């Protein structure tokens, strides 16, 4: 048999059909269940978007209120999860703590291994709600502050900020965060969704699938790019250093984090929305946020001129996120965990959809090593 065609990184391979999300990489369009991302970012809330992603349609008022109440009921964390957080904060990366806490959740869910669709949806609601509480609590404990109980009168985004900072923040910050959550909620078969599907395709459970997704999201080529991009902006330091820094980085064959995408070969529509939000918050922004914004805008202009049209490398969702999160008061080590808080509805919806017609995911690899080697006992090896 000759060497088969190998699609490194599974590029260009369709592995399933899905009704959840369309990413049109040529036109720079993104749809959740048929709705353009721009409309959802402008008019929806994260909670409503979660309903849409999970159920495939927008809820009526009554359906929304019930769903919202179920989400709120799941916000509190069991003592065992709080203990894991307190034990591990400061000793491991926040994404590792989040992954560990999520993988321990079945211990507190008596119905965790029930494979009915109703139970999978219930677990999805629990995961969406609890991931927010877990990440906010990790952030709180990291600051050496006492744990804050959830406030059920607040939205998911508002409660996240409350549990993180111990005080109710302005509605503008909660709105900005809500938009960020919507923009990151779903993105077809990205690396973390794919790894969740690989885990679930063995007929493992939803908690295990989401745990796999978190492990995959951590890497700097995927969710970790948001904090890597902010680190770069801080390394640039002053806006006037931007061009020199980027030129040097590109000459040294370094990747500029927050640029490029496997599917988008044009401007990522999510990055456009985040950029607009960032520009509109400048009037009341701190000096630090204005500095980051100036660097980001100079870097974006330069990269678009240098690599946009010629190499199809454009800003992606992670590029402008750092300055926006900084404006909301979110520390850099929570950026990627917040990406997980946003993406959990996407992971769950894909898993539930895939289980409707499950097939074990098991690709091939082309072996290039030796065969029939002679086994030499250890004592006779040179
Ligand atoms: N800066 C400089 N050059 C780049 C970049 C970048 N950010 N991204 C790609 N390239 C170059 C790369 O060096 C390669 O050049 P050459 O052909 O000369 O070797 C060419 O473009 C193709 O790169 P690739 O890695 O084969 O392309 P890919 O489709 O596998 O990469 C990517 C997609 C996201 C991994 C890549 O663009 C990248 O590493 N970007 C930086 C990390 C990042 O921002 N990730 C977040 C992605 S969006 C959020 C998410 O959904 O996860």
Q: How far is the CA of 260 from the centre of ligand 1 (A)?
A: 5
The verdict on the CB of residue 259 being under 6 Å from ligand 1 is yes
The verdict on the CB of residue 270 being under 6 Å from ligand 1 is no
The verdict on the CB of residue 140 being under 6 Å from ligand 1 is no
Walk across the sheet containing 21-24 and list its strands.
21-24, 29-32, 35-36
In a domain, residue 211? The reply is: yes
| Other C-beta atoms lying within 10 Å of the C-beta of residue 185 | 25
Residues 127 and 42 in one domain: yes
Residues 150 and 286 in one domain: no
Q: Is the pLDDT of residue 369 over 90?
A: yes
Residues 85 and 112 in one domain: yes
Q: How far is the CA of 219 from the centre of ligand 1 (A)?
A: 13
In a domain, residue 320? The reply is: yes
Of 201, 121, 230, the closest CA to residue 361 belongs to 201
The verdict on the CB of residue 201 being under 6 Å from ligand 1 is no
- Which CATH number does the domain housing residue 286 bear? 1.10.230.10
In a domain, residue 11? The reply is: no
**pLDDT score recorded for residue 206:** 97
Tell me: the pLDDT tens digits for 35-89? 999 999 999 999 999 999 999 999 999 999 999 999 999 999 999 999 999 999 9
**Closest Cα to atom 20, ligand 1: which residue?**
311
In a domain, residue 375? The reply is: no
Which residue among 252, 255, 257, 339 has the greatest number of ligand 1 atoms within 8 angstroms of its CB, and so is best to mutate?
Answer: 255
In a domain, residue 364? The reply is: no
What pTM value is reported for the model? 0.95
The verdict on the CB of residue 223 being under 6 Å from ligand 1 is yes
Residues 230 and 215 in one domain: no
pLDDT confidence bin for 219, thresholds 50/70/90: very high
**Closest Cα to atom 18, ligand 1: which residue?**
253
Q: How far is the CA of 235 from the centre of ligand 1 (A)?
A: 20
Atom of ligand 1 nearest to the CA of 262: 29
Residues 311 and 178 in one domain: no
Tell me: the pLDDT tens digits for 302-346? 999 989 888 999 999 999 999 999 999 999 999 999 999 999 999
**pLDDT score recorded for residue 287:** 96
In a domain, residue 381? The reply is: no
**pLDDT score recorded for residue 170:** 81
Domain range for 255 is: 225-327
Residues 167 and 272 in one domain: no
In a domain, residue 1? The reply is: no
Q: What is the dihedral of CA 289, 293, 294, 299, to 10 degrees?
A: 140
Of 187, 66, 181, 169, the closest CA to residue 131 belongs to 181
The verdict on the CB of residue 317 being under 6 Å from ligand 1 is yes
Residues 169 and 82 in one domain: yes
- Which CATH number does the domain housing residue 151 bear? 1.10.580.10
The verdict on the CB of residue 302 being under 6 Å from ligand 1 is no
Q: Average pLDDT in the 102-125 region? A: 95
The CA-CA-CA angle for residues 305, 308, 309, to 5°, reads 95
Tell me: the pLDDT tens digits for 275-298? 999 999 998 899 999 999 999 999
> 40 with 32: CB under 8 angstroms?
yes
The verdict on the CB of residue 340 being under 6 Å from ligand 1 is no
At which of 327, 344, 363 does a domain end?
Answer: 327
Atom of ligand 1 nearest to the CA of 223: 52
Cα distances (angstroms) measured from residue 257 to each of 8, 29, 159, 223, 275: 21, 21, 30, 11, 16
- By annotation, the residues acting in catalysis are 222, 261, 318
Tell me: the pLDDT tens digits for 247-268? 999 999 999 999 999 999 999 9
* 175 or 283: which leads in pLDDT: 175
In a domain, residue 380? The reply is: no
**Closest Cα to atom 46, ligand 1: which residue?**
222
Residues 72 and 192 in one domain: yes
Q: Average pLDDT in the 134-153 region? A: 97
The CA-CA-CA angle for residues 371, 374, 377, to 5°, reads 140
**pLDDT score recorded for residue 370:** 98
Q: How far is the CA of 314 from the centre of ligand 1 (A)?
A: 10
Reduced to 3 states, what is the DSSP secondary structure of residue 36?
Answer: strand
As for how many domains the chain has, the answer is 2
Residues 51 and 191 in one domain: yes
The verdict on the CB of residue 265 being under 6 Å from ligand 1 is no
Q: How far is the CA of 143 from the centre of ligand 1 (A)?
A: 34
Average pLDDT of the chain to the nearest whole number: 96
Q: How far is the CA of 174 from the centre of ligand 1 (A)?
A: 31
Residues 95 and 144 in one domain: yes
Residues 320 and 335 in one domain: no
Of 369, 338, 381, 366, the closest CA to residue 134 belongs to 338
DSSP β-ladder status, 35-36 and 29-32: antiparallel
**pLDDT score recorded for residue 277:** 95
Q: Average pLDDT in the 368-375 region? A: 97
Cα distances (angstroms) measured from residue 2 to each of 12, 25, 368: 21, 33, 12
Q: Is the pLDDT of residue 1 over 80?
A: no
Residues 323 and 340 in one domain: no
**Closest Cα to atom 13, ligand 1: which residue?**
255
Q: How far is the CA of 135 from the centre of ligand 1 (A)?
A: 28
């Amino acid at each position: 048999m000759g060497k088969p065609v190998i699609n490194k990184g599974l590029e260009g391979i369709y592995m399933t059909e899905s009704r959840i999300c369309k990413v049109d990489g040529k036109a720079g369009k993104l749809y959740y269940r048929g709705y353009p991302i721009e409309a959802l970012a402008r008019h929806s809330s994260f909670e409503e978007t979660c309903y849409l992603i999970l159920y495939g349609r927008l809820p009526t008022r009554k359906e929304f209120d019930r769903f919202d109440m179920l989400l709120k009921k799941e916000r509190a964390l069991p003592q065992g999860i709080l203990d894991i957080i307190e034990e591990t904060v400061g000793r491991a990366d926040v994404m590792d703590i989040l992954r560990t806490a999520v993988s321990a959740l079945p211990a507190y869910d008596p119905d965790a291994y029930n494979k009915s669709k109703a139970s999978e949806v219930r677990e999805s609601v629990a995961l969406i709600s609890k991931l927010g509480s877990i990440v906010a609590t990790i952030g709180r404990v990291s600051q050496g502050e006492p744990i804050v109980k959830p406030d059920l009168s607040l939205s998911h985004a508002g409660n996240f900020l409350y549990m993180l900072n111990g005080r109710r923040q302005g509605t503008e910050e909660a709105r900005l965060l809500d938009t960020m959550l919507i923009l990151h909620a779903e993105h077809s078969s990205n690396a973390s969704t794919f790894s969740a599907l690989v885990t679930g395709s063995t007929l493992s459970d939803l908690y295990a699938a989401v745990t796999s997704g978190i492990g995959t999201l951590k890497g700097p080529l995927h969710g970790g790019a948001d904090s890597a991009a902010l680190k770069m902006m801080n390394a640039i330091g002053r806006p006037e250093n931007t061009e020199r820094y980027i030129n040097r980085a590109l000459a040294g064959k370094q990747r500029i984090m927050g640029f490029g995408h496997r599917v988008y070969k044009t401007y990522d529509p999510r990055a456009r929305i985040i950029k607009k939000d960032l520009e509109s918050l400048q009037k009341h922004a701190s000096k630090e946020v204005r500095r980051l914004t100036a660097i980001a805008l100079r870097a974006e202009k330069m990269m678009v001129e240098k690599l946009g049209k010629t190499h199809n490398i454009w800003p992606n969702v992670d590029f402008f996120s750092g300055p926006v999160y900084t404006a909301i008061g979110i520390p850099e080590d929570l950026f990627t965990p917040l990406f997980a808080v946003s993406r959990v509805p996407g992971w769950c919806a894909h898993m539930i959809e895939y289980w409707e017609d499950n097939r074990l995911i098991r690709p091939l690899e082309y072996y290039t090593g030796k065969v029939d080697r002679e086994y030499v006992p250890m004592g006779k090896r040179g």
